Structure 1
Amino acid sequence: MCETQKLLLSWRGPQSNQHYFVGCLTRQDGKNDKRYTFSYNQTIVKEAEKEGFRPLIGLSDLNKEYTNDKLFSIFERRLPNKNRHVFQQFMKDHQLNDADEAAWEYLKETKGKTATDKLSFLKPVYKHNDTLSYSGEIAGWSYTKGQNEKLQVNQPVKLIIDETNPKDRKAVEVIDQVHGHVRVGYIQKPFNQLFFKLLEAGYDLEGHITSIDPSDSRPTLGIDVALQNQIIDFQALSYFIDVTD
């Protein structure tokens, strides 16, 4: 039996500051081996190219699905040397004995960010049986942080469709009901498409603030949704959903 895990490769546009989920990296653990796969999301790449995105070195063919038995070198370079203290401490803190497993978890937890580009790895939405789980930064924070100084970790927030948004008809607002029903920000793209579908189907969606970045106070949002009997077509959104049923 094989277990497949997924991470989304995001490129942040320099003008819009928007996340473009340009590709998907998967890791498949077999009984005796591992296989890594990378492919581009061509629709999103076309949008990102308008802001200057270019294919990655060594992964230049937008139409190809790349496979390797090791983590691709362009992503491997985003990790500290496995003999360095910071990596060894990460393995210890997360109780990991396998260096390959630790490398994957390191990308997941640190987002694999560097100071030299605008790439990062983000977690997908996880679907397990009839539950969806999501964790991600709240978009639009730079515009709303002045009115959200009282926001706190573990505080509940509500999701609603922003029906008046002129730029995105599927925009989903995150609302602080505790402190004056003010806008905290938005569900970042493309995850908004999923929560828009759920809200449109009649779901009453709430989440909570899981963390607040000490450097710029940007909040991270956590959402858990128990799926009901309504039929939601996840097929078109499958590239950012990791199914573990």
Structure 2
Amino acid sequence: MDAPRLLVAWQDPRSRLIMPVGVLDQLSAGFSFAYLQRVLDIPGFRPLLGFEDLERRYESAELFPLFRQRLMDSRRSDYHRYLTILGLPEGAPALVVLGRSEGRRAGDSIFLMAEPKVDDEGRTSASFFVHGTRYKAGAESRISALHEGELLVLRDDKQNPVNSRALLVTHGGDELGWIPDLLLDYVHVVRDVGGMTIRVAQVNRGDVPPNLRLRVQLQGSVREGYLPFRGEEWATTA
């Protein structure tokens, strides 16, 4: 299982907007982190712990502490269950685990998102958890009734007070939650090309955190030359 390139994002405590700020990547002999050029224009942004220089590319043989502490210790007795909740096999690489879990920690402002896959023919796929299920009345029971492979439908949420490009995930007309903000540009591109499908990949029991209740699988195609999290607007400072 290849380790993905991860987008690192930061949530502004005032606006609650989640903004991409860096890229975490795996090297042949370690890991690298670099800030995106856009951080230089984010008011109030402070360097992440351990990455004080905004214009330096950091490299390390070991996973950086800021990200390592977001991984569950594989020696814990409940580690196997944790991987099962994420839908991952034993031995999954660290960046695969971080990308699937989004590296969340309670009360934290940092999020991680795995770069969706695109092959040479422009076919693409991505697997991720639906966001905001706890904010949709009745979503809990509706999610519990879903089955793997069921087709889901996206609906524009143009009145969303935080992001007018927000996309709701629905089933039978019922709203279940939202596409993660960090994937919105990508999902809009895939939807516009046509032929996109989103299906239920995994439903976890109600005793897991809401952000890990419903995992979906997206498949489709992108326009020629498009790569998610790549291009001029995703350029790094180093």
TM-score (norm 1): 0.68
Runs of 5+ in structure 2 lacking a partner?
none
Higher relative contact order, structure no. (Cα contacts within 8 Å, ≥ 6 residues apart):
2
Match for residue 188 of structure 2 among 186, 196, 199: 196
How many Å separate the matches in 1 of 2:189 and 2:67? Answer: 33
Q: Could you say if the C-alpha distance between residues 185 and 95 of structure 1 is closer, same or farther in structure 2, counting changes exceeding 3 Å?
A: closer
Matched, 1:132 2:127: no
Q: Structure 2 counterpart of 1:21, which letter?
A: P
Q: CA deviation at 1:115?
A: 4.6
Report the AA paired with residue 186 of structure 1.
Answer: W
Measure how far apart 1:158 and its partner are: 0.8
Q: Which has the larger radius of gyration?
A: 1
Report the equivalent of 1:65: 57
Question: Match of 2:151?
Answer: 156
Distance 1:168 1:195, change over 3 A: same
Q: Write 1 or 2 for the structure with the bigger share of strand.
A: 1
Distance 2:69 2:162 in 1: 37
- The root-mean-square deviation of aligned C-alpha atoms, in Å, is 3.8
1:191-242 per-position Cα deviation (integer Å, ceiling 9, x unaligned): 1111112223344543325234534544433233232xx7355257328x9x
* Deviation by residue 1:91-139 (Cα, 9 ceiling, x = unmatched): 9x9554xxxx754455445544445733343322122444322222323
Supply the distance in 1 between the matched residues of 2:32 and 2:48 (Cα, whole angstroms).
14
- Contact 1:24 1:38 survives alignment (8 Å): yes
Q: Which residue pairs with 2:48 in the alignment?
A: 56
**Residue type of the alignment partner of 2:169:** V
After the TM superposition, which of the residue ranges 102-111 and 123-132 deviates more from structure 2?
102-111
The one-letter code sitting in structure 1 at the alignment partner of 2:108 is D
Q: Distance in 1 between matches of 2:198 and 2:97?
A: 29
Q: Which runs of 5+ in 1 are unaligned?
A: none
- Give, as a single letter, the amino acid of the residue that structure 2 aligns with 1:194: Y
AA aligned opposite 2:165: K
Which amino acid in structure 2 is aligned with residue 122 of structure 1?
M
The residue aligned with 2:217 is 223
The residue number in structure 1 matching 2:5 is 6
Distance 1:42 1:126 in 2: 23
